[in-house]
Amino acid sequence: MKNITRSNLTDTVKSSFSNIDDERLKHLVNRLVHHLHAFATETKLTHDEWREGIAFMHRAAEISDASRSEFTLMSDVLGLSSLVDLMAARPGATEGSVLGPFHTRGSPWVGNGANLVRDNAGEVVLLQGRVTDIEGKPLANATIDFWQNADNGMYWQMDDSQPQDNLRCQIKVDADGHFELATIRPRPYLVPTDGPVGELLRVSHRDAWRPAHFHIIVEAPGYRSLITEVFDDADPWVEKDAVFGVRASLVRPFTPTTDEATAKRLGLPAHYLKVDLPIALARAD
Ligand code: BEZ
Ligand code: FE
């Protein structure tokens, strides 16, 4: 018989997981037990509080489905998603930022220079970039996966008034790593607050706004994939993102531009906004 006491409980639980074969998983489970027990000890967690915590997780599970993960949102508003992003940063490489819930694989492939504006209201933006390694060598095999919200703040998946795949695409860069696409200025957006994460934001008197942003995933063979965002420096919410995704290097000017030749080439209005985005990828480890 093992008499479980307050002083041997944590070590006993840890050793119950010591036969996990995968060393990394064993370490993660060990540290999870350690910090969960330390949390409960430090806060003197009561039965009522623990039950409420479990009920909160139940509500998160109930509202989640294939197209909505309340657990991801929880990780985002707790800053855990951003912590993992920041720890994965490599010197010289473009900084990462949160993926968010509206990325779905399989966006339509379009040619470099595509115009996504179609029937969308909003100010027209020309997004131009160049994908290189951290020494500045162009990565001719890089691909861009792009998505953003419409002028009403919604992503196409949330909004029946938008056509399927509105404002999202994939692009192959050219031989010199360049890419460009015409789109609209993104809008600030409220993260979903109808679930338990909304309860947490409300009791904390926290805002649910995310600053206006483009989402981009950049991939190139032999290089670390980059999941990042580009923020509009004119949006006041860059000061206070509900999910802590803003990095100074990703906040870009949306510069008013008139360039007749470019406007003609890409089917833009005479006055448009231009955003430049240099992207550097680190080699895969
Ligand atoms: C978004 O970018 O749309 C987003 C990111 C994190 C949580 C919710 C939404
Ligand atoms: Fe987003």
C-alpha distance from residue 71 to each of 57, 61, 65, 217 (Å): 8, 8, 11, 22
pLDDT of residue 263: 95
- Measure 197 CA to ligand 2 centroid, in angstroms: 17
Q: How far apart are CA 181 and CA 266, in angstroms?
A: 8
pLDDT of residue 157: 87
pLDDT at 230 over 80: yes
Give the 3-state secondary structure of 9-40: HHHHHHHHCCCCCCHHHHHHHHHHHHHHHHHH
Contact 245, 215 (CB under 8 A): no
C-alpha distance from residue 171 to each of 158, 254, 284 (Å): 24, 21, 21
What are the structure tokens assigned to 21, written together? 């074969």
Check pocket membership of 243 for ligand 1, CB cut-off 6 A: yes
Among the bound ligands, the one closest to the CA of 213: 2
Q: How far apart are CA 243 and CA 141, in angstroms?
A: 32
What's the rounded mean pLDDT across residues 14-38?
98
Reported as a single tens digit per residue, the pLDDT across 152-209 is 999 998 899 999 999 999 999 999 999 999 999 999 999 999 999 999 999 999 999 9
What pLDDT band is residue 285 in, cutting at 50, 70 and 90? Answer: confident
Check pocket membership of 102 for ligand 1, CB cut-off 6 A: yes
pLDDT of residue 9: 98
Question: Ligand 1, closest atom to CA 192?
Answer: 8
Q: How far apart are CA 2 and CA 114, in angstroms?
A: 68
Closest CA to 114 of 274, 260, 277, 266: 266
Contact 234, 153 (CB under 8 A): no
Among the bound ligands, the one closest to the CA of 73: 1
What pLDDT band is residue 67 in, cutting at 50, 70 and 90? Answer: confident
Check pocket membership of 76 for ligand 1, CB cut-off 6 A: yes
What pLDDT band is residue 65 in, cutting at 50, 70 and 90? Answer: confident
Protein residue whose Cα sits closest to atom 1 of ligand 1: 100
What's the rounded mean pLDDT across residues 244-263?
96
pTM equals 0.92
Name the CATH superfamily for 74-281: Aromatic compound dioxygenase (2.60.130.10)
Closest CA to 252 of 217, 278, 272: 278
- Measure 26 CA to ligand 2 centroid, in angstroms: 34
- Measure 179 CA to ligand 1 centroid, in angstroms: 25
Closest CA to 183 of 238, 219, 230, 142: 230
Among the bound ligands, the one closest to the CA of 68: 1
Check pocket membership of 210 for ligand 1, CB cut-off 6 A: yes
Among the bound ligands, the one closest to the CA of 191: 1
Quick one: what percent of the chain has pLDDT higher than 90?
94
For the chain, the residue count is 285
Question: Ligand 1, closest atom to CA 73?
Answer: 7
Reported as a single tens digit per residue, the pLDDT across 116-147 is 999 999 999 999 999 999 999 999 999 999 99
Residue type, 255: T
pLDDT at 94 over 90: yes
Contact 61, 250 (CB under 8 A): no
- Measure 187 CA to ligand 2 centroid, in angstroms: 9
Check pocket membership of 101 for ligand 1, CB cut-off 6 A: yes
Round the average pLDDT of the chain to a whole number and report it: 96
Question: Ligand 1, closest atom to CA 99?
Answer: 5
Q: How far apart are CA 169 and CA 114, in angstroms?
A: 9
What's the rounded mean pLDDT across residues 218-242?
97
Residues 6+ apart with CB under 8 A from 58: none
Q: What are the extents of the domains in the chain?
A: 1-45, 74-281
pLDDT of residue 58: 98
Q: How far apart are CA 79 and CA 56, in angstroms?
A: 18
Check pocket membership of 139 for ligand 1, CB cut-off 6 A: no
pLDDT at 270 over 80: yes
pLDDT at 51 over 80: yes
Question: Ligand 1, closest atom to CA 100?
Answer: 5
